[in-house]
Amino acid sequence: MRTVATYQDQAVLVLGLGKSGINAAQLLLKLGATVVVNDGQDQETSEAVAELRALGAIVITGSHPVSLFDEHAFSYLFKNPGIRYDNPMVEAAVARHIPVLTEPELAYEVSEAQWLV
């Protein structure tokens, strides 16, 4: 894995607690980011939530509180490519000129493998 300093000490919002969202949050924590994970479904009792919190992430489930943008100075929003751009959190990021990136873009950035584009 290639170490990048882009996310060091940056507040990052990760949308979705699917497998790729969990992995992205874990990777961003390793890269030194302050990570907030948000999922619209109530997943408070899931192992993934407990694990991410133990690693230092803030995890909010059960809704998409746009107020998070007032509480955190997010530098980036990461989403699964399947999350639509009319999601309220994505729309809020775009309105605030916060870069919206996908999890595959993060993987590309840290991967040492050759990619076909």
Structural domains present in the chain: 11-110 (3.40.50.720)
pTM: 0.94
What's the pLDDT score for residue 5?
A: 94
DSSP structure string for the chain: -----TTTT-EEEEE--SHHHHHHHHHHHHTT-EEEEEESS--TTSHHHHHHHHHT-EEEESS--TTHHHHS-EEEEEE-TTS-TTSHHHHHHHHTT--EEEHHHHHHHH--S----
Does the pLDDT at position 62 exceed 80? yes
pLDDT in tens, 2-50: 889 999 999 999 999 999 999 999 999 999 999 999 999 998 889 999 9
Q: Once rounded to an integer, what is the mean pLDDT over residues 84-94?
A: 96
